[in-house]
């Protein structure tokens, strides 16, 4: 009984700390960017996730983007985007309205996005 009461007391003291706001003002720019990448990767791994806009840049799968199978489209209002995976091994140029139906990304793959941001969505098959 004493152990159970001690555990309950511990949970009651830890729970408010877990819900406390995080003070980001003391973090450096690099720390904020790293935190944003970690949050994005975690959100993308959740079943509730529908899509995320990935800005222009170079990303490592398994570090910045979770490994998985995705559909890609250009961000809303974008005119053109270029996606290269592992250099020129796989290359896609998207224009307004285009979509890449299926891309498999494995840990360690390098994804380069240029010109405009790209929206990543979980691949849902052919839809029938």
Q: What is the largest CA-CA distance in the chain?
A: 65
User: What values do phi and psi take at 85, rounded to 5?
Assistant: -115, 125
- Cα separation, 30 vs 106, whole angstroms: 25
| pLDDT tens readout for residues 55-81 | 999 999 998 988 989 888 888 777 788
Is pLDDT at 12 greater than 70 in this prediction?
A: no
- C-alpha to C-alpha distance for 13 and 102, rounded to whole angstroms: 46
CATH code linked to domain 23-122: 2.60.120
Residue-range domain boundaries for the chain: 23-122
- For 84-104, what is each residue's pLDDT tens digit? 888 776 667 777 777 777 889
Evaluated on CA atoms 90, 71, 62, 27, the torsion sign reads: positive
Q: Name 19's bridge partners.
A: none
Is the pTM higher than 0.75? The answer reads no
pLDDT digits (tens, 9 = 90+) for 31-53: 888 888 788 777 767 777 788 88
User: Three-state secondary structure along 34-90?
Assistant: HHHHHHHHHHHCCCCCCCEEECCEEEEECCCECCEEEEEEECCCCCEEEEEECCCCE
């Amino acid at each position: 009984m004493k152990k159970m009461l001690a555990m309950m007391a511990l949970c009651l003291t830890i729970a408010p700390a877990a819900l406390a706001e995080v003070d980001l003002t003391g973090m450096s720019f690099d720390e904020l960017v790293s935190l944003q990448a970690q949050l994005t990767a975690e959100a993308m791994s959740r079943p509730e996730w529908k899509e995320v806009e990935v800005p222009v840049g170079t990303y490592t799968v398994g570090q910045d983007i979770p490994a998985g199978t995705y559909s890609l489209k250009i961000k809303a209002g974008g005119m053109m985007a270029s996606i290269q995976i592992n250099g020129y091994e796989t290359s896609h140029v998207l224009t307004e309205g285009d979509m890449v139906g299926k891309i498999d990304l494995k840990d360690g793959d390098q994804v380069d996005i240029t010109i405009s941001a790209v929206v990543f969505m979980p691949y849902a098959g052919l839809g029938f």
